[in-house]
Amino acid sequence: SYELTQPPSVSVSPGQTASITCSGDKLGDKYASWYQQRPGQSPVLLIYRDSTRPSGIPERFSGSNSGNTATLTISGTQAMDEADYYCQAWDSSTEYVVFGGGTKVTVL
């Protein structure tokens, strides 16, 4: 079955840039999406189709996807960005939806 791998945690200082990776076999051939989940809340769509932000999502969130890795970048990280982040893709061979294991971002 298709798997997406994320680092369990990423730490970043306020105002700095955080990068969260999501790895999967030929992930660059698929569309990757990213979700933010703050403690006790439902996930929120941050990025879809690799790099598109829904309306209302701040410009400091950006995404890319190439080869085997998709990356979510948070520029000028703020304390409010402390949350869990999940990547997601669709496996065309099984027609299953796949989530990465999630990355906890800590703003120190």
Partner 1 sequence: QVQLVESGGGLVKPGGSLRLSCAASGFTFSDYYMSWIRQAPGKGLEWVSYISSSGDTIYYADSVKGRFTISRDNAKNSLYLQMNSLRAEDTAVYYCAGGAGANTQFEYWGQGTLVTVSS
Chain contacts with partner 1 (rule: CB under 8 A): 1, 31, 33, 35, 37, 42-45, 48-49, 54, 84, 86, 88, 90, 92, 95-102
> 3-state DSSP call for residue 79?
helix
Q: How far apart are CA 11 and CA 60, in angstroms?
A: 17
- Read off the tokens for 62: 């950006």
Comparison of 2 and 16: residue with beta carbon closer to partner 1: 2
Shortest reach from residue 33's CB to partner 1, in Å: 4
Comparison of 13 and 41: residue with beta carbon closer to partner 1: 41
Measure the N-to-C terminal CA separation of the chain; round to a whole number of Å.
Answer: 36
56 contact partners, CB below 8 Å, separation of at least 6: none
Comparison of 48 and 61: residue with beta carbon closer to partner 1: 48
Shortest reach from residue 17's CB to partner 1, in Å: 24
Q: How many residues does the chain have?
A: 108
Shortest reach from residue 44's CB to partner 1, in Å: 7
